[in-house]
Structure 1
Amino acid sequence: MTNEDKGTSLSSLLGPRASCLVHRSSLLVKEGLVNFHETLIKVRFNEVDAYKIAWHGHYVAWMEVGRNDLAGRFGLDAVQIADSGYLAPVVALELKFIRPARFGEELRVRTTLRRTETATLEFACDIFGEEGKLSASGRTVHALTDRDGVLQYALPQVIAERLQGLMAFLGV
């Protein structure tokens, strides 16, 4: 049973908090054999710490923005998955910092999906700063559960169908 069947969608429960308030634009990019999604984010003043660089926790948020921008185009962002009756909590997160981002800098968040053999979603993300210099690189792994938290061992059909379109675009 989906949330729609229950008469309540996650987006209606979250209201305006369901949308991200980050100045950004996004596009799907095909570059040779590598396909990815690119989200542009400008580092805001409130994201800079006492060292005058972006606070490390914001990189995780920027990865999430990129991931949801890509997944949302194929019906697989967090709200869309929940509205289908499933959840995709993060079960693993890796992030390597390479160079700091600074106030006013425009970042390019490149996101792609890696193929997995299990009922999980694995997103890889690179964050580039000025002059195309890599600032951070990471990945998230999401397990699929039903609304009650029961782990799914096979991809639910509705998720598998949406995932097929995303993987076809990315060429994975």
Structure 2
Amino acid sequence: MLISTKEIEVRYAETDQMGVVYHANYLVWMELGRTQIIKDLGFSYAEMEKDGIISPVLDITASYKKPLRYGQTATVNTWIEEYDGFRVSYGYEIFNDEGELAVTGSSKHVCVKKDSFRPISIKKKFPDWHEAYEKVKKQPEGAVR
């Protein structure tokens, strides 16, 4: 299983009146994590979009454990939790400077044609992506490759 890492410097504009990162910013950081893992695999969302394919969010969750504050560096770890040829679920863990877990999350996506929003098979349309995702996705407990 590949775990991609993206560091993010917490900016003042990302904090709320309590001085902690506003909760919606973690969703943006998850997007940065997804973009990074795709880049680490040698692909690009931008290239996919040039082919008329987009990848909307079907579901997203975040569980807050510990606040992050202005001036800290967040580390976003991202991996492919599940993949079935059509849908992709990404897992996330976001840590603070001290390596303490601040947020866990997941997001589920599907690829669709931009003009019609009809789902496409990643396996058929992007066989290289399919192969890479199959290779690095999280394996069920006890699974042997």
Relative to the length of structure 2, the TM-score reads: 0.84
Question: Stretches of 4+ moved more than 6 A in 1?
Answer: none
- Provide closer, same or farther for how the CA distance between residues 87 and 76 of structure 1 changes in structure 2, counting only shifts above 3 A: farther
Note the C-alpha offset of 1:52.
0.7
Give the Cα–Cα distance (whole angstroms) in 1 for the partners of residues 116 and 123 of structure 2: 14
Which structure shows the bigger proportion of residues in helix conformation?
Answer: 1
Asked if 2 retains the 8 angstrom alpha-carbon contact of 1:72 and 1:80, the reply is no
Give the Cα–Cα distance (whole angstroms) in 2 for the partners of residues 36 and 47 of structure 1: 25
Tell me the matched-pair count. Answer: 139
Asked if 2 retains the 8 angstrom alpha-carbon contact of 1:84 and 1:158, the reply is no
* Map of 1:148 onto structure 2: 115
Mind listing any 5+ residue stretches in structure 1 that lack a counterpart? 1-33
- Provide closer, same or farther for how the CA distance between residues 149 and 125 of structure 1 changes in structure 2, counting only shifts above 3 A: farther
Note the C-alpha offset of 1:158.
3.7
Structure 1 position 101 matched with structure 2 position 61: no
The CA deviation string for residues 26-81 of structure 1, in whole angstroms up to 9 with x for no partner, is xxxxxxxx530000111011111100111111111111111111113335543222
Give the Cα–Cα distance (whole angstroms) in 1 for the partners of residues 10 and 93 of structure 2: 16
Which has the higher relative contact order, 1 or 2, with Cα contacts under 8 A spaced 6 or more apart? 2
Structure 1 position 120 matched with structure 2 position 87: yes
* Map of 1:74 onto structure 2: 41
Helix, strand or coil: the match of 2:68? coil
Give the Cα–Cα distance (whole angstroms) in 2 for the partners of residues 94 and 160 of structure 1: 28
Identity score, percent: 21
- Alpha-carbon RMSD: 2.0
Structure 1 position 164 matched with structure 2 position 128: no
Mind listing any 5+ residue stretches in structure 2 that lack a counterpart? 140-145
Structure 1 position 65 matched with structure 2 position 42: no
Give the Cα–Cα distance (whole angstroms) in 1 for the partners of residues 130 and 17 of structure 2: 41
Structure 1 position 83 matched with structure 2 position 83: no
Amino acid at match of 1:52: G
Helix, strand or coil: the match of 1:130? coil
- Provide closer, same or farther for how the CA distance between residues 128 and 106 of structure 1 changes in structure 2, counting only shifts above 3 A: same
